[in-house]
Structure 1
Amino acid sequence: MIKIYFKTGYRNLLKNTSFTLINLVGLTLGLASVMVLSLLVYEYLTANSIFKNQDRLVYLKTYSKSGDGIIQTPFPLLDEIVKVCPDVEAATHVQSFNSPWLKYQDKEFQDNTIYGETGFFKVFSFPFESGNAATALNGKYDVVLSHETAEKLFGKVNPVGKTISADDTTQLTVTGVLKPIPANATLRPTVILSINLLKTNPGFTSMANWYNTFAENYLLLKPGANKKRLTYQINQIVKTNYTAENKNQRIKLAPFEDLVKTESGDTVSVIIKGATGSAVFILLIIVANLINLNMATMFNRAKEVAVKQMVGSSKMQIVWQFCVENAILVFTSLLLAFLLFRFVLLAQINQMVKSNFSELSFDLVKDFPLTLIILFTGILVVIIAGSYPALHLTSIKITDTVKGKLTGNNGNFITRNALITLQFTLAIIFIGVTLILNRQMSFMKKASPGYNQENVLVVPLDLAFKNPAAATAHFDAVLNDLRNNPYVKNISTSYTIPTTYQQNYNTYVDPATGKEVSLRQAATDAGLIDTYQIPLVEGRNFKNVADTNEKSNVIINRSAMKALGWTTAIGKQLKPKGGGNEVDNVIGVMEDFHYRRLSESIEPIIHSYAGKQSVNYSYLSLRVDPKHAANILTKLQKEFDAMNPRRSFSYKYMSDLADQQYALLNGILKVTNYVATITLFIAAMGMFGLIALFARQRVKEIGIRKVLGASTVDIVQLLSGNFILLVAVAAMIATPVSLLLMSKWLQSFAYRTELSWWLFAVAAGIALVIAVATVSFQAVKAALANPVKSLRSE
């Protein structure tokens, strides 16, 4: 019988070509969208599954008196924990400080480097391709490489025991190579070095005290460990060793398995929630559309079903037939959807979310839980979409079916109307979300950032020069040439530029009042304010002189002045906590400017003077005459190439860097546009099928009405009026839902557009126009049919 079901189903699909194609296209696009959204959610939910013993893994969080928490602590804390806390089985830092250049023979490169203790691989159970995890970091000069890094340097040869150089000075021994790390692991190091090597770095040791908070700590607890006792012991260490300014801080243990959910930030959380909601919405629309189109073809299948019942077919056999027919359609769509997902949409979603996620990948075997979920979803769609119309047909009396009485009961009309309303409700919600998201993006891009980002070239200076002393001397000559170039208006060399300000905070005290304020810190030269044309509210800029002359001078922004309760800042002093007897003099106040994207508020900032302009900064910023920018860049590239850098010369315009801040939001906008289009398309196709059903069921009524004088407009109104009413109901439901969703979403933006009623009216209007166009096409077609043909059938 299964063979017969497949043969019958295949023939029926070919017979109803238009409905088959509509279903095939809608299902393929919808299921491909569900696949890519499901992969995003799956990777998020299964993050860090590579690590064992997650129930015993914890990380440390520092909480200030105000309740704010960060995942860093002072560096020496971990050593003390290992000494005095018996509940800890193994512990390690995950310390980023620098990334040395690694060289083997003629191959040289730099990549993401972390430093860890000897217990690193006890805490993080990375699988090893070669080497011994238990002893891999026992030596000061040991290095463990990722699979990809080892291949770059050594090819397919086992590198364990080989020697590589770091920054042309330190000889390292390869003691292990990791197996490929999944993309959804939060820790994906390419080079792992011993923390004992980092402890010999003077720059690091000067920071690794009990005041500076920059170290990440991870602990593997013993089975049955007492977490309350451990937390108490750690905070006793805090009370004993922390500096006076930080003794009010508290350390808490956080479960490692909650790391992604807790520390990934609101943006990632919004993406995952949005992906989950979108996938569910699309699935609902797919099922509703498939049921509606199956119902639309029921009229032609009714007598077939009646005959089968008369010759002895049971309800279950008829249900099986319809399910097999839908299975052919659904699983063909699944195959096409997988190809679309794998070779088109996956690359697109990676471009959108790469700044917040590692590159997503999919393997049918490796990701078998997701594969099974997709197959189960396909089976569920088949059962729902196939069984409902079959059960409806078998519930009608055989005599009524033979006579063509297929009107059914009120329950079926309610179900059909509910499905149509659901489809268009979801479609209108997505249209409204899309319109508001577009409006917010436009608002942020058009708003003034508070500085002039036009015609500013930004050149990264971190090029890893092979001879730093020679590069410094050469760059000084380049700076002099630039200052004498009439087409270069301003020059700045700085550690940070707008869009790159770091999460670097310190507490400053007003010596006159004792008031304490947390300020974001940045170090810059004398050219930043002029190059980016940031207005000065009062006071003066830094001077391009030796740092000893401006060392104790600082410039704050207006928000900092307000936070300190000052009406004027010139001549005031600030004392940084942890700075001993150091006192800073405020020499200027800059106007507030958006140093990050407009979704974030402007925080109080303090700029210190880092010294004269030189190549030792991170960025070179040039305000140039746009007509001569190409010539300036050509000359700069030649000069930098002559300085023998390891990295290639590159540049970007500040306006492009500012736009890149919104890359993720632009990606979300593209996904929302796509989902809105898909939902509208599927909903319209469902409407198309239903109006076709109505026209067929009422063909004789239409013929009689036309013979009695009804016009084409009358027939169109007869057939489409109910559908238009359902879309109007959908609009009334969708509008408050959209308003609630987007009002809540916009609260995450410090600077946001206003919600206008007409946006929701436009969303409803778009859906209504598409619905009217779809319905009218079929209705007009039915109204223009020759009534003689429809009445001659009997």
Structure 2
Amino acid sequence: MFRYYLKTAIRNLTRNKIYTIINISGLSIGLACAMLIILYVKDEVSYDRFHKNVGNIYRIVNRNVEADGKESGKSGYTGYLQGPRFKSAVPEIVSFVRFRSGQMDMKTGDEIKPQDLRYADSNFFSVFTFPLLKGNPKTALLQPNSVVISDEVAKKQFGTTDALGKTIMLKGDDKFEPYIVTGVAKKAPQNSSIKFDLLLPMVVSKEDAQNNQNWFSFFMNTFVVINPNADTKVAGQKMTRFFEKDAADVIRMIAEKFDFHGRTEYSLQPFLDMHLSKDLPADNGLSDSSNPMFSYILGGIAIFVLLIACINFVNLTVARSLKRAKEIGIRKVVGGERKQLIFQFLGESFALCFLAFLLAIILVQVILPVFNDLSNKALSISYLFDLKLIAGYIGLFLLTGLLAGFYPALVLSNYNPVNTLYSRFNLGGKNYLQKSLVVLQFTLASFLITATLIIYSQFNYLTTTKLGYDDTNLIIVGKGNLNRNEAALFRNELMKSSGVVDVALKNGGFWGSGAKINGEEKISFAYETVSVPYIPMLKVPILQGRNFSLDLPSDSTQSVIVNEEFVKKAGWKQPLGQQVRFVNMDNTDETYTVIGVVKNYHFESLNQKIKEQLFTMKPKNPYGDFYIKIRPGTSTAALKDIEKTYKKLFPINPYSYDFKDQQNRNSYQSEAKWKQIMLFGAILTIFISSIGLFGLSVLSAEKRTKEIGIRKVLGASVSSVVRILSRDFLSLVAIALLAAIPMAWIAANRWLENYPYRVNLSWWMFASAGIFVLLIALFTVSFQAIRAATANPVKSLRTE
């Protein structure tokens, strides 16, 4: 019996090649999308689960609570003290490990490059499961000048993983020092929040360990192992009580100097929660923090594509049933039972699904590199052969086969044999299910197309909006901890180059600080240490007052410039001459006078709202970046001169540069990735919907062959026949658009709420998406309609 069903299924599939190709291609694309998303989600939820004791590992986190009970911030950052002091005071804590990031220059032969590092306590390898290929995990991080390297670094540096006892030259303060390799670790798994190439021991001085002010020095992660039977909530309460007692003097000092009258509460975050946490992400030396929203969006796209493919299958199978009506009638007359027919049609459905499944695996293999690039992953096809995933794919195969074949099997097996054999059967009538399914699939496709257009508009807005300053032909060269003499020498040498217009200096990275204004009112701001040419070079307008001047020495020690947002927050009507008072940790005060106000500009990306900003030339603050303006069209020559001058003055420092405009564009990498992902999703959905619509139009034309012939004989024109054949389908697409546009508008508004600066939703976005969908549908349907309308009516009418 099975052999008979199989032969019948193969005969029907090969006899109807267009139908078979449409269904297999649609299902394979849908299944490939589902497989890729399953791979993505599996990787997301598997992060950090390879550690043996991971269920008992937590990160110490804290939150600030204002006096009125409102939360003012959360953080996963800690300092030197939290780990050892909480370990000694809270019985639930078994052990702790501190972990932080850093950077040093590494010398290989004559080449010097910056190298990212990680620092950890000596028990790191007993808490976390990172196997050492060489070395003793218990002693690898005991000595101050020891280093554990990954197998990749060992092969690159020494040509072998047998690197114990070899030395790596790293520059600490002012000179290179040898670090002895005491361990070679297997490269951290892809799905690990902790990754390292070079791991150095955490060295804490006696002074830092005893200084209570380090309770408020936050720059690292501290992990603790908790007793399996412990209540983590109770442990967090004990941590908070101990902190308030042990740091009482520092808390009072902070409250007096910085006007903070709230409290800091400590708690424990499960290690497995970090990767997908939005409030307390894996950062500050940890890797690959993610957002669960990405999984939801990708999962939604996969469900859309797979659902549309299944709708195609149901629609085409039901519509095609007219051609098989006599076959079904004969089978019933000769004794065929309904359940046998159901099994036959389900068998055909599963045969199609099986072929589609094989093709989907091939598609996944081909598309995986592109998908990895889009999703910032390193997924492998080997991930597909995990036992749980195989079970999931089998379930997906069975679900798809049933979903795509069950309803058609019920419909086809229920035909009346008398009506079908006497040609009284007609699949016409209202046919609400088929029409509803067409509306549903084009609603989904239209929704994705509209959403993609809006994402494109927002991305273009972010990348083309004027930032309020000139970032063209601007090169940034980093050199940490520059003093004023080094900065002046390098600037003077650079100005000798014909390609260099001007050079300004700024602190490296982002600095934040706070000060008192209007007496005792405290204000926080972005703290910028700059040289005189900085503001004019960026062409930031000065609205009131003046720029810094070298002719006035007091500008370096007594003057500041602020932005409009600072003035607004301070409530000043006349900002010039206002006082800003800095209160230092050593109980000294520094008072500065506002000499200028600059127009607000986007010194961060447009993903961030413009904040209060203050500029100073304070001599004690080091510079970190050179801003070098070059003449248009001279970038090659100018870059050579800059590199030559840098290496002459700073021979033991690594040289690197960035173009500021490119750096700004890189701020929107996430939006660029999602723009591409949504585009691919929209293309897939419209493609599958279109091939389904094409198949339906083919079957519709075949069903109405004699009607078309009669109309033509009676004088109907080709255009009128095309209009008749296309009208029903286009009306369904129009209904789908009316349903999709409100959904897209609501979803787009929710998404755009994440951006402080965003594009305004306009009618043309929805109209453009609607016109595009209608044109695609019109082209798809009219192609077959024109072919049917131009056919010879004699051929369609000469046989009954």
TM-score normalised per structure 2: 0.87
Which residue number in structure 1 is paired with residue 460 of structure 2?
442
Paired residue for 2:82, among 77, 81, 93? 77
Q: Deviations over 1:633-686 (max 9, x none)?
A: 222233345467578754443222222222221221122122112211111111
The answer to whether structure 1 residue 193 and structure 2 residue 215 are counterparts is no
Aligned partners of 1:651 and 1:740: how far apart in 2? 43
Which residue number in structure 1 is paired with residue 416 of structure 2?
397
Paired residue for 2:181, among 174, 180, 204? 174
Aligned partners of 1:83 and 1:42: how far apart in 2? 38
Which residue number in structure 2 is paired with residue 290 of structure 1?
313
Which residue number in structure 2 is paired with residue 665 of structure 1?
671
Counterpart secondary structure, 2:101: coil
Cα offset, 1:294, TM superposition: 2.6
The answer to whether structure 1 residue 383 and structure 2 residue 405 are counterparts is no
Which residue number in structure 2 is paired with residue 152 of structure 1?
156
Aligned partners of 1:639 and 1:236: how far apart in 2? 56
Structure-to-structure mapping, 1:50-449, within 5 angstroms: 50-64=50-64, 65=66, 66-67=70-71, 68-99=73-104, 101=106, 111-167=115-171, 169-196=176-203, 199=205, 209-239=214-244, 240-241=246-247, 242-243=250-251, 244-245=253-254, 248-262=263-277, 263-264=280-281, 268-343=291-366, 345-354=367-376, 359-364=378-383, 367-408=386-427, 413-449=431-467
Aligned partners of 2:241 and 2:696: how far apart in 1? 72
Paired residue for 2:606, among 598, 614, 617? 598
Amino acid at match of 1:123: V
Which residue number in structure 2 is paired with residue 573 of structure 1?
580
Counterpart secondary structure, 1:91: strand
Contact 2:275 2:290 in 1 (8 A): no
Amino acid at match of 1:458: I
Structure-to-structure mapping, 1:716-727, within 5 angstroms: 716-727=722-733
Cα offset, 1:767, TM superposition: 1.3
Aligned partners of 2:276 and 2:575: how far apart in 1? 42
Aligned partners of 1:207 and 1:171: how far apart in 2? 33
Distance change >3 Å, CA 682–CA 353, structure 1 → 2:
closer
Counterpart secondary structure, 1:423: helix
Contact 1:61 1:251 in 2 (8 A): yes
Aligned partners of 1:547 and 1:238: how far apart in 2? 45
Aligned partners of 1:546 and 1:645: how far apart in 2? 34
Distance change >3 Å, CA 652–CA 214, structure 1 → 2:
closer
Contact 2:737 2:770 in 1 (8 A): yes
Q: Deviations over 1:155-179 (max 9, x none)?
A: 3433345444433754434343333
Distance change >3 Å, CA 700–CA 146, structure 1 → 2:
same
Gaps (5+ residues) in structure 1?
none
Distance change >3 Å, CA 723–CA 274, structure 1 → 2:
same
Contact 1:364 1:371 in 2 (8 A): no
Amino acid at match of 1:85: V
Q: Deviations over 1:139-164 (max 9, x none)?
A: 43443222322332343433345444
Distance change >3 Å, CA 368–CA 658, structure 1 → 2:
farther
Distance change >3 Å, CA 538–CA 723, structure 1 → 2:
same
Contact 1:534 1:593 in 2 (8 A): yes
Distance change >3 Å, CA 651–CA 100, structure 1 → 2:
closer
Aligned partners of 1:52 and 1:459: how far apart in 2? 44
Distance change >3 Å, CA 81–CA 432, structure 1 → 2:
same
Counterpart secondary structure, 2:589: coil
Aligned partners of 1:617 and 1:149: how far apart in 2? 32
Distance change >3 Å, CA 206–CA 229, structure 1 → 2:
closer
Counterpart secondary structure, 1:479: helix
Contact 1:93 1:218 in 2 (8 A): yes
Aligned partners of 1:334 and 1:152: how far apart in 2? 41
Distance change >3 Å, CA 526–CA 222, structure 1 → 2:
farther
Cα offset, 1:429, TM superposition: 0.7
Distance change >3 Å, CA 590–CA 346, structure 1 → 2:
farther
Contact 2:529 2:623 in 1 (8 A): no
Distance change >3 Å, CA 98–CA 608, structure 1 → 2:
farther
Aligned partners of 2:150 and 2:640: how far apart in 1? 37
Structure-to-structure mapping, 1:645-660, within 5 angstroms: 649-660=655-666
Which residue number in structure 1 is paired with residue 259 of structure 2?
none
The answer to whether structure 1 residue 751 and structure 2 residue 764 are counterparts is no
Aligned partners of 2:52 and 2:178: how far apart in 1? 33
Aligned partners of 1:589 and 1:774: how far apart in 2? 60
Cα offset, 1:180, TM superposition: 3.1
Cα offset, 1:602, TM superposition: 0.5
Paired residue for 1:687, among 677, 683, 693? 693
Distance change >3 Å, CA 772–CA 668, structure 1 → 2:
same
Which residue number in structure 1 is paired with residue 628 of structure 2?
622
Cα offset, 1:317, TM superposition: 4.3
Counterpart secondary structure, 1:209: helix
Percent identity over paired residues: 29
Which residue number in structure 2 is paired with residue 483 of structure 1?
495
Cα offset, 1:749, TM superposition: 0.9
Contact 1:327 1:382 in 2 (8 A): yes
Aligned partners of 1:304 and 1:336: how far apart in 2? 30
Q: Deviations over 1:566-608 (max 9, x none)?
A: 2343331222464632324144433211122212201112334
Cα offset, 1:787, TM superposition: 2.9
The answer to whether structure 1 residue 582 and structure 2 residue 589 are counterparts is yes
Contact 1:143 1:175 in 2 (8 A): yes
414-423 or 47-56, larger mean C-alpha shift: 47-56
Aligned partners of 1:366 and 1:580: how far apart in 2? 63
Counterpart secondary structure, 2:215: coil
Distance change >3 Å, CA 633–CA 691, structure 1 → 2:
same
Distance change >3 Å, CA 388–CA 129, structure 1 → 2:
farther
Distance change >3 Å, CA 313–CA 406, structure 1 → 2:
same
Q: Deviations over 1:465-515 (max 9, x none)?
A: xxx99x997x8655323224454322123334xxxx53x4333222x4311
Aligned partners of 1:351 and 1:365: how far apart in 2? 18
Counterpart secondary structure, 1:253: strand
670-679 or 572-581, larger mean C-alpha shift: 572-581
Contact 2:499 2:637 in 1 (8 A): no
Cα offset, 1:50, TM superposition: 2.2
Cα offset, 1:750, TM superposition: 0.6
